[in-house]
Chains A and B, each alone.
Chain A
């Protein structure tokens, strides 16, 4: 019991070391963002962020010395979040969207939502047709699912 207290006396040194590592990684993050890795940009940024996050979780949040259940809870939340992300990306990434015969190219998009005509929609009726239907969206589904 009291022996536990002694083993923590020098922990502050570890925390200081972790802080320095985190600050260094922040510098690296900023530096890496100046270089264009193309499509890897996001991945590299996320990987560095994950290293920082791991340091915070393992050391500042004590997961390294804590009971396994707490790490399991933390990692589970990340795992299930990744399911949401991955399956959404699979969906959007694999949609086949045939274009109509009079296709003129993708819609430019709005500068601001204020530029959208908002038809008044009385209760119980479907919204009116938008003046410039966004063509990035998939084909409209059957109403009122």
Chain B
């Protein structure tokens, strides 16, 4: 069942040519049996992750469309409602996520260029930023709960305009779904960190770091749209 090795077409692809440790028969231990080359496996993994990101865009997109439709229907109520949001905390969270995206791409770059310490440091920094984001959101949510500005039937804020509760339904659904993705992202980054500490990654194989990085950037991308639409429209 030997693989007839193909003449390795030298891709211009982002390099995943295996020059790490090899088995006796020359195969990188990270090469899965149904692929014939590391570059092929890497490209396939990337396509797979981008397809998954496409599904996330459409998932969140539905919420954005719903938000847009309701905002078009109740512009005054939405305008009044968003004043309850602290734009400074929102801006802080935006900065935090942008920085976390930076540390994440540095981590990917570090794994690509063999900088193990940089990789580990930046994964930890990314986790720290993500944690900060969640802490800020915790304070925001606490404040809302205190004021009775809750989603759907839990909304009990007595002042303000009619239909403002619809804004808060969307606020909690969108930031909540986003928050769930932040938590899942932290789990994924944590797993990558554990593997990085074990020395699993290097210039010959860093695919999981790259893929988790892509996911994390998407989490940032979604917030880039959430922030102005929820916090800033006036």
Chain A interface bracket (under 10, 10 to 19, 20 to 34, 35 or more):
35 or more
User: Which of B25-33, B60-68, B129-137, B139-147 sits within the interface?
Assistant: B60-68
Pick the contact of A26: B91, B157, B160, B210 (CB < 8 A): B91
Decide: B234 and A41 in contact? CB cutoff 8 A: yes
Please classify the interface of chain B as helix (H, G, I), strand (E, B), loop, or mixed, using the class held by over half of its residues: helix
In angstroms, Cα B46 to Cα A78, docked, is 18
Residue among A5, A67, A76, A111 with the most chain B CB within 10 A? A111
B58-82 Cβ-contact flags toward A at 8 Å (1 or 0): 1001101100110011100100000
Q: Could you write out 29 A-B pairs with CB less than 8 Å apart?
A: A4-B17, A5-B203, A11-B109, A15-B106, A19-B98, A23-B98, A26-B91, A34-B234, A41-B234, A42-B233, A45-B228, A49-B227, A49-B228, A53-B224, A53-B225, A60-B102, A62-B210, A65-B14, A66-B14, A73-B50, A74-B53, A77-B61, A80-B58, A92-B72, A111-B160, A111-B162, A112-B155, A114-B153, A136-B73
Interface residues of A (CB under 8 A from B): 1-2, 4-5, 8-9, 11-12, 15-16, 18-19, 22-23, 26, 29-30, 33-34, 36, 41-42, 45-46, 48-49, 52-53, 56-57, 59-62, 65-67, 69-70, 73-74, 76-78, 80-81, 84-85, 88-89, 92, 108-114, 136
